[in-house]
Structure 1
Amino acid sequence: MINFNGILQDSDTNLLEQNRGFLYGDGVFETLKIVDGKILFFEDHYFRLMAAMRIVRMEIPMNFTLEYLEEQVLSLVKNNKCESSARVRITVYRNNGGFYLPTNNTVSFLIQASAIESSTYSVSEKEYEVDLYKDFYIPKQLLSSLKTTNKIIHVTGSIFAKENDLDNCILLNDSKHVVEALQGNLFMLMGNTLITPPVSEGCLNGIMRKQILSLAKKETTLEVVEQVISPFDLQKADELFVTNVIKGIQPITKYRKKEFAIETTKMLNDILNQHLGMN
């Protein structure tokens, strides 16, 4: 028996009682965007998921092919009647057994899908204010670049943002360098140079980050670099924006007393939509 919310029940009836993703954050995940029955950037998502599973020493099932997971995702969105535009999350967690040391490295997975309003990527011109979140810091290590189910810094940072009427917060690593925003990777435009922190700083190895780096190098005259960003650099920037697969590109309009333009952000968004055939 266990006590769940004050009610005694058989442990066999509660899925969380031994779930390692719940008990230890022993899981990894991917968030996907579906447009017109297609998974955007699915190969990139798949290989990032496989790499994350290897890094945390999960056993990858033989049937975990790109084709198999694609079929599982598309079957679910069809069943949920959200093929035209959807957010999907694939969570992979190590199976029950053990404490910190698992009794085996086999896995189970859970896929969730829900409809979202817009399939195309668009740039909001509404005010979007951010500040630093300094209560906790991101470790500068490989694990920080993975999408794991241990996201407590992002959770507490999101609560801090809400309490302070902010739209987002910028996270720092243990060297006090800028890492990323709560919901995505951070880019900074200074003059003709587009800058984002390298993955070695502890930022997420983002799928949209990869797309923007590639498109900016190929389709614009911008100098594109991955280099360390200090909090002081942010106030000298001409533009700041956040990237993730669901939103695309989110411009930051205000950081402390500094306000930012969004022209390059809009240009990159147009290039992204053209690349995806969404215009």
Structure 2
Amino acid sequence: MINFNGDLLPSTSFFLNQENRGLRYGDALFETIRVVNSKIFFWEEHYLRLMASMRILRMDIPMDFTMEYLESEIKKTLEANTMEDKAVRVRLGVHREGGGLYLPESGSVAYIIETRELDSPFYMLGGEPYTVELFKDHWVNSGLLSTLKTNNRLINVLASVYAEENGYENCLLINEKKNVVEAINGNIFLVRGNIIKTPPQEDGCINGILRKQLLKILSKLEEYTVEEASVSPFELQKADELFITNTITGIRPVTNYRKKQFRTDISRDLLGKLNMHVRLEGGK
């Protein structure tokens, strides 16, 4: 079952038409949310990011679009799919209502909630090889719009196809200044010695929820120095570790980039701290 504007419909329903602005123009946003036993991880952060993104895109925010209302709709959808006691990936999509060409006829919105079961209630560290490569065919534009989770994800799609065709598990995206910005499906962190570095949002990386949580964790650890600064492709070869973060998988260590093989010691340490952080703060 899916939730469309509060109505529960079979997942096979045809409830959108050719006027959908998310389909026509990418005039839509989405949040990918991890839920375990009906506990929504980092719900306040997801909600605030969604509201801020809707304002940036000049969408009208309905009066009933409160944290409490959307949380209840998510849980209603979980219950309809008998997923209240499971680990679940939830996609909350918001699109501007149909009508108009580039200029919308209105700013009113509709929403869709989808669910998919996950393998584990915990963030797990995969032990299999994980190789990445730079995707250089197209680049992410630095600036505010690139930090939003909009439906304009064509670069991510093409990079995914490139990775599949060439035997890579993921690709790293670059901006117009040739700085490394992020992975296909998450933010990136480099480790060299005790310095942990991640690209700044000004370079065009997604304003990731897990990125924010990890920076919060690292700010309390005296053994590491954190830098938010541009990352050159040349730095990848010099890093001791490289890992990718997103809300669904947590921390995904990269094992290989070209001839470079990375360690995973700090990734493992941080994953344990992340799971503890989730138990303490994830549902707030």
1:226 partner letter: E
Secondary structure of 1:69's partner? helix
Q: Select which of 152, 155, 164 maps to 1:153.
A: 155
| Backbone CA RMSD of aligned residues | 1.1
Change (3 A) 1:14 1:118: closer
Q: Distance in 1 between matches of 2:218 and 2:17?
A: 44
Report if the CA contact (8 A) 1:57-1:105 is conserved: yes
Q: Select which of 251, 254, 266 maps to 2:253.
A: 251
1:155 partner letter: V
Structure 1, unmatched stretches of 5+, are: 1-12
Change (3 A) 1:217 1:14: closer
Q: Distance in 2 between matches of 1:43 and 1:267?
A: 26
The answer to whether 1:128 aligns with 2:151 is no
Secondary structure of 1:108's partner? strand
Secondary structure of 2:51's partner? helix
The aligned counterpart of 2:39 is 38
The aligned counterpart of 1:108 is 110
The answer to whether 1:66 aligns with 2:67 is yes
Q: Distance in 2 between matches of 1:229 and 1:19?
A: 38
The answer to whether 1:47 aligns with 2:48 is yes
The aligned counterpart of 1:228 is 230
The aligned counterpart of 1:168 is 170
Counterpart mapping for 1:256-271 below 5 A: 256-271=258-273
Moved more, 194-203 or 71-80: 71-80
Secondary structure of 1:233's partner? helix
Q: Distance in 1 between matches of 2:55 and 2:227?
A: 28
Change (3 A) 1:49 1:234: same
The answer to whether 1:206 aligns with 2:208 is yes
The aligned counterpart of 1:25 is 26
Moved more, 117-126 or 215-224: 215-224
Q: Kindly state the Cα deviation for residue 220 of structure 1 after the two structures are TM-superposed.
A: 4.8
Normalising to structure 1: TM-score of the pair?
A: 0.94
Identity of aligned residues (%): 47
Q: Distance in 2 between matches of 1:254 and 1:182?
A: 16
Q: Distance in 1 between matches of 2:53 and 2:15?
A: 28
Q: Distance in 2 between matches of 1:246 and 1:45?
A: 13
Q: Distance in 1 between matches of 2:278 and 2:210?
A: 12
Q: How many residues align?
A: 266
Q: Distance in 1 between matches of 2:60 and 2:122?
A: 36
Secondary structure of 2:238's partner? coil
Q: Deviations over 1:14-50 (max 9, x none)?
A: 7231000000000001000001111000000000000
Report if the CA contact (8 A) 1:80-1:114 is conserved: no
1:99 partner letter: L
Report if the CA contact (8 A) 1:208-1:248 is conserved: yes
Secondary structure of 1:64's partner? coil
**Runs of at least 4 residues of structure 1 off by over 6 A?**
none
Q: Distance in 2 between matches of 1:273 and 1:219?
A: 16
Q: Kindly state the Cα deviation for residue 277 of structure 1 after the two structures are TM-superposed.
A: 2.5
Q: Kindly state the Cα deviation for residue 219 of structure 1 after the two structures are TM-superposed.
A: 3.4
Q: Distance in 1 between matches of 2:79 and 2:228?
A: 39
The aligned counterpart of 2:140 is 138
Change (3 A) 1:272 1:14: closer
Q: Kindly state the Cα deviation for residue 274 of structure 1 after the two structures are TM-superposed.
A: 1.2
Q: Kindly state the Cα deviation for residue 118 of structure 1 after the two structures are TM-superposed.
A: 0.6
Structure 2, unmatched stretches of 5+, are: 1-13
Normalising to structure 2: TM-score of the pair?
A: 0.92
1:169 partner letter: C
Report if the CA contact (8 A) 1:178-1:231 is conserved: yes
